[in-house]
Structure 1
Amino acid sequence: MLGFFVLLIIVYTIGYQFYGWFDKDKESVMNINTTIEDINTLPDDNSNEDNSKIKIQDIVYFQVKSGEPAVNVATNLESLGLIESPQDFLTKLEKLNLGNSIKANTYKIKTESNVDEIISILTK
């Protein structure tokens, strides 16, 4: 019986430290996927070669919980590298009178999105 409890404690510790199984705050950060888009550019008038290019984009799935304060949202966005400064994000939200307009949902946000685009996505 003692061996069972020792094994349970070891599994819990490994899960907590290495995999975050029991960390409820990590629910706002879902995952990052890489997608490939085909970007076709117009060829030069003087050129007969194909100018199609492939661009790789990173997309972050970001979850906002119901009732989650804007401060937490800003901190989570910073931890994912989507914004540089939570304070700048919050200041811009207030300047646009959107401080209480962030909707609970799971969003797909491109990593190259700027603050204005992120605010637009989260407040639609």
Structure 2
Amino acid sequence: MRSAIGPPSPRRSPSPSSASSRPSYADAGGRHPDVLAAAVVAVDSPIRGERPYAYVRTVDGSALTAEALRDWASGSMASDKLPLVESVEAFPMTATGKIRKTEPAARASRMPPAP
């Protein structure tokens, strides 16, 4: 039994190559120069239980496609974290200027199940 007195046991941090240490899509997608904002929500998947679904707003005039953005993000993300991607013109915003995720989540829930 561990004593309550004394230093806590050291915690292991994930190795750099582990999937859990890789960035989320909102982090990775948000670093692309053509992405203004991204909102990621979960959708049902018969294979995985849930899968990420990203809504992305790009800069005006960008030719960035969903497939190109997934390819770009795959270089820094685990393949099971790569979401389906949909481009949007604008996001619903809260009074404090944050993306209101309830609308994108509701929209994603009406989509067919993701593979």
What's the TM-score once normalised by structure 2's chain length? 0.28
**Larger Rg: 1 or 2?**
1
Q: Where is the helix percentage greater, Structure 1 or Structure 2? A: 1
Larger relative contact order, structure 1 or 2 (CA cutoff 8 Å, min sep 6)? 2
